[in-house]
Amino acid sequence: MADIFETQAKIYAETRMKYPREWFALLAALTPHHGVAWDAGTGNGQAAVGLADHYDRVVATDVSEGQLRHAVPHPKIRYIHTPISMPEDDLVAKLGGEDSVDLVTVATALHWFDLDKFYPVVERVLRKPGGVMAVWSYREMRVSPSFDALIQRLIASAEPFSNPNSRHIFEEYRNLPFPFDGVGVGAEGEPVALEMKMNASFEWILRLLRTWSIVNIAKKQGINLLPAEVVEELEKAWGGRSLIREVTFPSFMIAGKPRTPATLREG
């Protein structure tokens, strides 16, 4: 699916919101060492930049070269293209080797991952003891009852084009496999509820909607999920293009550490 993000990398970089600084401070407080963080599925580096405030080095990887071309430059961040075909040993080596990473993060991207392949890499590279894995994502925006209803209708119309693993987002990670021991920030089946708030224009929201993977998958199949009449309905419910409104993104997070041998035996 990397090609979906290749064609919209620039607009994706311009529309994705920054994650709250408090989230990164919370995660950094969980790791006793702050040498290396790995941001997997980094996209344009939104999370990687936040990690750079707390870790000496950040390795930020993605399967999309287009996304990485538009990544936010930072002296502490090393962006690496990691195609799906890359052997596990090669990936581990690029990340610094076994037991080399203090924090692994996946920000709003885990639903694209092959977890059976990804989690073993995490287990290999996380520092033991002390390494932590954290994943988070967010739901569709909340603005007003009338606007939210139109967004729900858009999502329903896009269901045939949805990545099956997107259910993890709609379920807010409650059924997400997460084979790590808890560290006080959620646990498997029990994510922590968070939220992001921002002030936005209708133009920004419309650009954001046009980056949604379901919208672009449908477009590739000749289906326009955002025709003029839908945009007009959204604009009316928003209150006009010139209006700036507060937007809330309900969010959720789970963090954990590699399981101990005792835990593995019990599981």
Concatenate the DSSP letters of all residues of 18-42 into one string. Answer: PPPHHHHHHHHTT-S--SEEEEET-
Token couple for 30: 């969980």
Token couple for 22: 């408090």
CATH number of the domain bearing residue 82: 3.40.50.150
Token couple for 207: 């650009």
**Has residue 172 been placed in a domain?**
yes
**Has residue 14 been placed in a domain?**
yes
DSSP letter for 162, please.
Answer: S
**Has residue 93 been placed in a domain?**
yes
Residue type for 86, please?
Answer: M
Predicted local distance difference test score (pLDDT) of residue 10:
52
**Has residue 267 been placed in a domain?**
no
**Has residue 101 been placed in a domain?**
yes
Domain holding 31, by residue range, is 1-258
Residue type for 124, please?
Answer: R
**Has residue 264 been placed in a domain?**
no
Q: Is the peptide bond before 129 cis (omega within 30 degrees of 0)?
A: yes
**Has residue 19 been placed in a domain?**
yes
**Has residue 72 been placed in a domain?**
yes
- pLDDT, block means (10 residues), the chain with 267 residues: 48 67 98 98 94 98 91 95 96 97 96 95 97 96 97 91 85 96 96 96 92 86 94 97 95 94 50
Residue 87 contacts by C-beta under 8 Å, 6 or more apart in sequence?
none
Predicted local distance difference test score (pLDDT) of residue 11:
55
Predicted local distance difference test score (pLDDT) of residue 159:
84
Pick from 150, 152, 158, 140: which is nearest to 218 by CA? 158
Distance, CA of 249 to CA of 75 (rounded, Å): 30
Number of domains into which the chain is organized: 1
Token couple for 104: 């692994």
